[in-house]
């Protein structure tokens, strides 16, 4: 099994600012995914980065992966009030494993 | 269907009652996961199915929890003799194995069932 630990636990920013969230993990991974969860809803997949990739972009999202440091970051640029949510990283286990263990997440609050 | 659906969305049970929570995964998805999410926490893994086979049930908190997926599609999570500590949101997710099988694949989550045990 593999757990991601998100940092910070909570983040409050003004609309238009950038938000950066970090994730650390302990063992080897196949890939790493980021999910968002709005209050009272299920998780929504945002982006997947493979272990042989260092950076990936999707719209206003930028994800980096440093396998030597076993860490990843999620950057949301030009944040909007609608980005207010909890964000979770999910390290995809290597070796054909399937158990995904989520951390407590980062709670992002974007003030309008 | 278009996504993962779960029913009921909300369930209130008296302590000691049995409950059954249903998950309809995306059609054709081989993998199915159940998670328990307490307020303010991340989802905690309960169990994993590959088709009808329950490959991991290590996250089930006690023998009061039981999950099944008899035909490899719809799954039911049953909780017997509910306790107050069972109050949580129960999330179901499904995925279709890609190059990274099982947990490394993108999981599609349902909206969850909020269980409140009085």
pLDDT tens readout for residues A48-81: 999 999 999 999 999 999 999 999 999 999 999 9
How many structural domains is chain A composed of?
Answer: 1
Provide the CATH number for the domain around residue A48: 2.60.40.10
Mean pLDDT of all residues in B75-83: 98
* pLDDT class of A29 with cuts at 50, 70, 90: confident
Structure tokens at A65: 């992966």
Name the residue among B42, B58, B110 with its Cβ closest to that of A88.
Answer: B42
Phi, psi angles (nearest 5°) of residue A60: -90, 5
Tokens 């979770």, located at residue = A88
Mean pLDDT of all residues in B11-34: 96
Nearest CA-CA distance, residue A7 and chain B, Å: 13
CA–CA dist A107, A10 (Å, integer): 5
Domain housing A59: 2-111
Report the share of chain B in percent with pLDDT over 70: 92
pLDDT given for residue A24 in this prediction? 93
Mean pLDDT of all residues in A15-31: 92
pLDDT given for residue B101 in this prediction? 44
Could you tell me if B76 and B20 are in contact, meaning their C-beta atoms sit under 8 angstroms apart? yes
Residue B102 has pLDDT above 50, yes or no: no
Could you tell me if B14 and B118 are in contact, meaning their C-beta atoms sit under 8 angstroms apart? yes
Residues in B lying within 8 Å of A, measured between beta carbons = 4, 31, 33, 35, 40-45, 48, 50, 55-56, 58, 91, 93, 100-112
Provide the CATH number for the domain around residue B16: 2.60.40.10
Give a yes or no: residue B103 inside a domain: yes
- Choose from A29-33, A35-39, A95-99 the range with maximum mean pLDDT: A35-39
Give a yes or no: residue B71 inside a domain: yes
Nearest CA-CA distance, residue B105 and chain A, Å: 7
How many structural domains is chain B composed of?
Answer: 1
pLDDT digits (tens, 9 = 90+) for B37-71: 998 899 999 999 999 999 999 999 999 999 999 99
Phi-psi group of A94: left, alpha or beta (phi > 0 → left; psi -120 to 50 → alpha; rest → beta): beta
Mean pLDDT of all residues in A22-40: 90
Cis peptide before B21 (omega within 30 of 0): no
Q: Which of A52, A88, A98 to probe by mutation at the B interface, max B CB count within 10 Å?
A: A98
Residue of A nearest to B57 (CA): A99
pLDDT given for residue B99 in this prediction? 45
Q: Where are the extended beta strands (E) located within chain A?
A: 2-3, 5-7, 10-14, 19-24, 29-37, 43-50, 55-58, 61-66, 71-76, 85-93, 100-101, 106-111
Give a yes or no: residue B117 inside a domain: no
């Amino acid at each position: 099994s593999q757990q991601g630990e998100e940092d910070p636990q909570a983040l409050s920013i003004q609309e238009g600012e950038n938000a950066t969230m970090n994730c650390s993990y302990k063992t080897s991974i196949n890939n790493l995914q980021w999910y968002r969860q709005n209050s009272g809803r299920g998780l929504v997949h945002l982006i997947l980065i493979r272990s042989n990739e260092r950076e990936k972009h999707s719209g206003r999202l930028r994800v980096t992966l440093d396998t030597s440091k076993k860490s990843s970051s999620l950057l949301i640029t030009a944040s909007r009030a609608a980005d207010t949510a909890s964000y979770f990283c999910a390290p995809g286990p290597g070796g054909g494993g399937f158990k995904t263990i989520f951390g407590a997440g980062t709670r992002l609050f974007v003030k309008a | 269907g278009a996504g993962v659906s779960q029913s009921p969305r909300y369930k209130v049970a008296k302590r000691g009652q049995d409950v059954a929570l249903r998950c309809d995964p995306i059609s054709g998805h081989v993998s199915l996961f159940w998670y328990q999410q307490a307020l303010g926490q991340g989802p905690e893994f309960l169990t994993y199915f590959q088709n009808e086979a329950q490959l991991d049930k290590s996250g089930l908190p006690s023998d009061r929890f039981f999950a099944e997926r008899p035909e490899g599609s719809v799954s039911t999570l049953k909780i017997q003799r509910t306790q107050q500590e069972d109050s949580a949101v129960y999330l179901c997710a499904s995925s279709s194995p890609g190059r990274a099988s099982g947990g490394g694949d993108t999981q599609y989550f349902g909206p969850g069932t909020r269980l409140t045990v009085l």
